[in-house]
Structure 1
């Protein structure tokens, strides 16, 4: 009985993106044995097109604890000390300043770079690459869960028993669908193209010189350009790369949607930061209550995170509609960047996102 009490609790995390790896770090720090299941055959490498992302100070503090050396994160990021919004007249090829924040405190990274440093800070056997989640079965006493997996290279079927199952498999989560099968994702009313442009080999080209002239503070500035029915985002990443996103109003496309841990519209730089703080709070709650009181730990986790995430998702959704010139309700007038003044623009500034300064990590 004494040996049973001291048995190391085990967690299975489905999804090996940044959210899943963050949960692994948080649970390992509390003494849990963790296995991450990821259907990709191997870790991402190199610098594919991918995407850039921005990290708030609180999320960076959490990551630095996992990495053990603040210089690691610092070396793969660039500062974003300025947030700048401007209206663009495409016909006249002019721009007009809407608002500017010179006290922005984020840093930006390429998704692959951030994933790589978080992954390398884990023990080598933590992630099972090339394994696909198939199903789950909860024990009658709800004390354990059996997860069925498929090894993609061999088609072998495995079963793994754990005390805790974490669904980090995105907004299209099979695990979430198991518990709330009637939940449907809702189209935002607009779509986006995004990418990363590598100009390291062509730094003196006319295109890059033109971009640098139009956006002179690239390298430490988050730019937003607005026109009627669309807007774009631009910021620079390490190794001479430009991250760009272009949003445009359009009917719902007949294609598979993007998949992220938090299905927030990406206007408030929140999704990755939300996932990191999710992991941090989960670890703190489990550490506080211990594995023998897992239900209470999860109740506290929900009590801490649900109000924060709800407000940030709703704020992000509202910001997206405003920036695209879409009505929030039947009575609201749309945001027009051509006529907007400073008072009209405060709602699209990052600083006005709920819990911008500090996200609570306990009740």
Structure 2
């Protein structure tokens, strides 16, 4: 079987590694002209590490990552509202939560591919299919025909929008800056911290090699020109009301290490497979980043799809298995992540006060219990 994958991001590469290890002929087509080692830090949950271990790259990913033991939530004055103990994940599921530079995860997957698998400057503009084959049309005028097409071309997937025209990204109501800078002892070595206020939200987490990853979100209209192209100092000034460490981390981040995006997701889809075309990763279930599960859910997709081919010979049964495992689970992540974001981004001060008061009384075990479905993942 010949399999074509559109999109050389984490989901597409993970799918390629998974399927090549099973002996399939796989080619990946990426719209960008080259692999650029850019991006911010990301979280890889215990669930995603479990999946990566199955395809033989988990140890390398773990070696490039940094373990998190605790998640702390604070108010704008730095008062702790609640904590989550991540160390129980190792005891329960055998893997831990880590942070990693997106480029390091990307590179690890690239190195696990067979030579000449990835092709650049290949922007897909449309697909058409018969009962047994799919033809991909690229912007450069070339075409590729395969027995199965995996669309892993992100939240703005042209393939998804061709198949489901009303599946356009939905703005979540806030914009976000992300960056990486030197830690310099400003962030606890094993603790991820998130601070909430009515004027914005800030998160910071340690990474390997003495680095810290941070994000800063503020409610605004989509594509607000006021927040485009801000300097590190200007971004820091937006969050001056937080403890001094927040302003310090932002303003000491080199401008070239800062990314800025409006935050969006897509309405959960009812199906991921359309004949011989299957959606994967953000193309299938783009979510807001509030649960740190964007990469993790794409990785799960890839391993589940691969496990489907181990169990079934006919493609239709493989794709039915994939949908049965992935559609409801990823829809739950999308909804819960949007709910968490809306709660954390509350601007009305009295309502925020009630949120903080009630949140402080929720036992940590209850918070972890709400996430149990994430880590207790069934990949087969």
Unaligned runs of 5+ in 2: 88-95, 226-260, 265-280
Q: Structure 1 residues 236 and 23 mapped into 2: Cα distance closer, same or farther (>3 Å)?
A: same
Structure 2 length-normalised TM: 0.77
Provide the residue aligned with 2:148 in structure 1: 164
Q: Structure 1 residues 350 and 36 mapped into 2: Cα distance closer, same or farther (>3 Å)?
A: farther
Q: Structure 1 residues 102 and 354 mapped into 2: Cα distance closer, same or farther (>3 Å)?
A: closer
Provide the residue aligned with 1:191 in structure 2: 175
Q: Measure, in 1, the Cα distance between the counterparts of 2:103 and 2:376.
A: 26
Provide the residue aligned with 1:308 in structure 2: 329
The offset of 1:354, in angstroms, is 5.5
- The answer as to 2:39 corresponding to 1:39 is no
Q: Structure 1 residues 68 and 19 mapped into 2: Cα distance closer, same or farther (>3 Å)?
A: closer
Q: Measure, in 1, the Cα distance between the counterparts of 2:215 and 2:334.
A: 19
Q: Structure 1 residues 86 and 345 mapped into 2: Cα distance closer, same or farther (>3 Å)?
A: farther
Superposed CA deviations along residues 122-163 of structure 1, whole A, max 9, x for unmatched, are 012111122211221212xx100111224xxxx4x2221101
The offset of 1:342, in angstroms, is 2.1
SS at structure 1 position matched to 2:204: strand
- The answer as to 2:367 corresponding to 1:356 is no
- Contact 2:6 / 2:151 at 8 angstroms: preserved in 1? yes
List, as ranges, runs of 4+ consecutive aligned residues in structure 1 with deviation greater than 4 Å: 254-260, 333-338, 344-351
Q: Structure 1 residues 32 and 335 mapped into 2: Cα distance closer, same or farther (>3 Å)?
A: farther
1:73 to 61, 78, 89: 61
Q: Measure, in 2, the Cα distance between the counterparts of 1:62 and 1:69.
A: 8
SS at structure 2 position matched to 1:276: helix
Q: Measure, in 2, the Cα distance between the counterparts of 1:318 and 1:68.
A: 33
Superposed CA deviations along residues 274-317 of structure 1, whole A, max 9, x for unmatched, are 00000111111122112xx1112111111111111111111111
Task: Please show how residues 11-50 of structure 1 align to structure 2 within 5 Å.
Answer: 11-45=3-37, 48=38, 50=39
Provide the residue aligned with 1:119 in structure 2: 110
- Contact 1:98 / 1:345 at 8 angstroms: preserved in 2? no
Provide the residue aligned with 1:299 in structure 2: 320
For the pair shown, which has the larger CA radius of gyration, 1 or 2? 1
Structure 1 length-normalised TM: 0.80
Superposed CA deviations along residues 12-71 of structure 1, whole A, max 9, x for unmatched, are 1000010100111222233211000001222224xx4x211111223213323434572x
Q: Measure, in 2, the Cα distance between the counterparts of 1:285 and 1:19.
A: 16
- Contact 2:176 / 2:263 at 8 angstroms: preserved in 1? no
Provide the residue aligned with 1:100 in structure 2: 83
1:57 to 40, 46, 52: 46
2:192 to 181, 203, 222: 222
- Contact 2:52 / 2:58 at 8 angstroms: preserved in 1? no
More helix by share: 2
Q: Measure, in 2, the Cα distance between the counterparts of 1:17 and 1:163.
A: 21
Q: Measure, in 1, the Cα distance between the counterparts of 2:157 and 2:263.
A: 12
Q: Measure, in 2, the Cα distance between the counterparts of 1:75 and 1:273.
A: 17
Q: Measure, in 2, the Cα distance between the counterparts of 1:356 and 1:253.
A: 32
Q: Measure, in 2, the Cα distance between the counterparts of 1:337 and 1:96.
A: 14
Q: Measure, in 2, the Cα distance between the counterparts of 1:69 and 1:265.
A: 25
Q: Measure, in 1, the Cα distance between the counterparts of 2:347 and 2:321.
A: 37
Q: Measure, in 1, the Cα distance between the counterparts of 2:9 and 2:359.
A: 40
Q: Measure, in 2, the Cα distance between the counterparts of 1:314 and 1:335.
A: 24
Please tell me the root mean square deviation across aligned C-alpha atoms, in Å. 2.6
- Contact 2:201 / 2:217 at 8 angstroms: preserved in 1? yes
- Contact 2:301 / 2:326 at 8 angstroms: preserved in 1? yes
